[in-house]
Structure 1
Amino acid sequence: MPLILMCGYPCSGKTRRANELKEYFTQNTERKVHIVGDEDQDIDKNSVYADSQKEKNLRGALRAEVERKVSKDDIVILDSLNYIKGKSVFVYCLTSTDVSSEWNKGREADSQYTQEILDALVLRFEAPDSRNRWDSPLFTIQQEDLLPFEAICDALFKRKAPPPNQSTQSQPLSSTNFLYELDKVTQDVLMAVLESQKTSVPGDLVSIPGATEKISFILACLAYLYLNMVELRKLRRQFISYTKMHPTENIGQIANMFVQYLNKSMH
């Protein structure tokens, strides 16, 4: 998605740079350009940034606005202290704290940050780093620099998207009662294993209700002598965590999968 994220200290020139980018893309492409920012939200910035809940609400509103406007055809420029990491281009407006403070004092009185809020926002700001996967491509602009319009355009439309990882991939759809069944079946298997240990001897292959696979007490004895509740619960938690990320549509196979996981874990 063509998304440009403006970042930097408060009063670091983000809005001016965003307008320069909008003018360039409007004149040189046939795409619509939308600037989304704090200024559009009709807020008292000092009040919002002094309250974590209000700031969280603002961040959600900005994200929703970006998601409504971004598309493969339109360009969205997010001009805000709250930025969204994702498939995008970063423009980092680099200024010193003294310059930001000076520019803040030059604003209209009703749009200025208090010095206390300004200092707090500067302290909280995390500068993007091009070595980080989601902070790249990154263009760092100082106050006297000209924007590298063509390079930004190329990065926005010609670069390959970073390969997806587990945190960005959509997970497969699963049955609405998948999590309930996962919890119930694994708990039933766990209790069946504990109960079977009371009468089983080394070498037994123990049947588990609901599963065609069997628990191998040869492996259990070699690995743990006998599995206690703490060890079984740990294995169950690990299995549930993995299965939530890789759900199966065949709920009937959960018991077999868990038994296989237990046998494998006991090697």
Structure 2
Amino acid sequence: MPFVLFCGLPASGKTLRVAELKTYIIEKYPDRNVNVVSDHSLGVNRNKVYAESREEKQVRGTLKSAVQRLLNKDDVVILDSLNYIKGFRYELYCVTKSCQTPQCVVWCDINPALAADWNTRRDSGEQYSSDILSGLVMRFEEPKPNNRWDSPLIVVQSDDRLPCKEICDAIFERKAPPPNHSTQSQPLSSTNFLHELDRVTQETLALQHTRPLTLSELQRQKRQFISYTKTHPVEDTSSLTSMFVQFLNSSLQ
């Protein structure tokens, strides 16, 4: 279930670091499976994808879906991609938060000139074109430790050893952030709570004669009350009628 997000400039050594972390976890935590999601696993043509914003957006969606599919209570999921857009990192944070799993962000921080040099040392089929690399360097949005979606943030310089123990402590020893209240599965106070809620609101609307109301207005008030009550369930369903009447009286004044 723990999630590790790697980010960094093109050719910053992320894939080598990911392989190192995977090996460490397998050795130290043999009961954990490690799943790596990456551009490589999707067969991404980097120069083609990162030249077209529409295709790049589709790839990000595919990466996110793959992470969501693999998250479970036992396995470790590592995402090996640029992850250079803070909005995308926030989306992934929301995914892990809703799953109630801890996450960690590892930033492979590297000088752009060194990244360009390392890029030239790759096989020709693995290289970013100079234009694509320059554009991605310009667009890279650095993670910041004060952003909750970038925290905890572990920064690794090009000549640093990967702090595998620190990463593992962050994902295995730290509690997951609580999910947003609105995204939790609300514990219904009784097995027929939703049925009772719908019945009571419908019957109350039929008896409400404070002033002439259109059907659409009545339905809108009903939907608003149901949405609120589903996230604030009550034990005593017999109180729903009075609650709805009070809601209508305050809303329709």
Same topology, TM > 0.5? yes
In structure 2, give the amino acid aligned to 1:61: T
Structure 1 residues 122 and 239: alpha-carbon distance in aligned structure 2, compared to 1, 3 A threshold: farther
Aligned-pair distance for 1:66?
2.4
Match of 1:110 among 100, 113, 125: 125
Structure 1 residues 43 and 256: alpha-carbon distance in aligned structure 2, compared to 1, 3 A threshold: same
What SS is found at the alignment partner of 2:212?
Answer: helix
Q: Does 1:195 align with 2:212?
A: yes
Q: Which residue of 1 aligns with 2:99?
A: none
Q: Is the radius of gyration larger for structure 1 or structure 2?
A: 1
Q: Which runs of 5+ in 2 are unaligned?
A: 84-88, 97-101
Aligned-pair distance for 1:155?
1.3
| C-alpha separation in 2, matches of 1:73 and 1:133 | 23
Q: Which residue of 1 aligns with 2:140?
A: 125
In structure 2, give the amino acid aligned to 1:195: P
Aligned-pair distance for 1:120?
2.8
Aligned-pair distance for 1:11?
1.6
Tell me which moved more, 40-49 or 14-23. Answer: 40-49
Q: Does 1:23 align with 2:23?
A: yes
Structure 1 residues 79 and 238: alpha-carbon distance in aligned structure 2, compared to 1, 3 A threshold: same
Aligned-pair distance for 1:161?
1.3
Q: Does 1:260 align with 2:252?
A: no
- Mapping of residues 173-188 of structure 1, within 5 Å: none
Structure 1 residues 101 and 133: alpha-carbon distance in aligned structure 2, compared to 1, 3 A threshold: same
| C-alpha separation in 1, matches of 2:151 and 2:225 | 35
Q: Which residue of 2 aligns with 1:5?
A: 5
Aligned-pair distance for 1:19?
0.9
Aligned-pair distance for 1:121?
2.3
Structure 1 residues 80 and 120: alpha-carbon distance in aligned structure 2, compared to 1, 3 A threshold: same
Structure 1 residues 74 and 241: alpha-carbon distance in aligned structure 2, compared to 1, 3 A threshold: closer
| C-alpha separation in 1, matches of 2:134 and 2:237 | 54
Q: Does 1:66 align with 2:67?
A: yes
Q: Select the structure with the greater relative contact order (CA < 8 A; seq sep ≥ 6).
A: 2
Q: Does 1:75 align with 2:90?
A: no
Aligned-pair distance for 1:245?
5.4
What SS is found at the alignment partner of 2:159?
Answer: coil
TM-score by length of 1: 0.67
TM-score by length of 2: 0.70
| C-alpha separation in 2, matches of 1:51 and 1:69 | 27
**Larger proportion of helix:** 2
Contact 2:186-2:230 at 8 Å conserved across structures: no
Instruction: Report sequence identity in percent.
Output: 46
Q: Which residue of 2 aligns with 1:153?
A: 168
Contact 2:36-2:80 at 8 Å conserved across structures: yes
Contact 1:7-1:92 at 8 Å conserved across structures: yes
Q: Which runs of 5+ in 1 are unaligned?
A: 197-208, 210-231
- RMSD value, Cα: 4.0
What SS is found at the alignment partner of 2:59?
Answer: helix
Deviations 1:28-77 (A, max 9, x none): 22022222100111121122122233223222322232233333332221
Contact 1:172-1:246 at 8 Å conserved across structures: no
Structure 1 residues 253 and 144: alpha-carbon distance in aligned structure 2, compared to 1, 3 A threshold: same
What SS is found at the alignment partner of 1:195?
Answer: coil
- Count of equivalent residues: 230
Q: Which residue of 2 aligns with 1:143?
A: 158
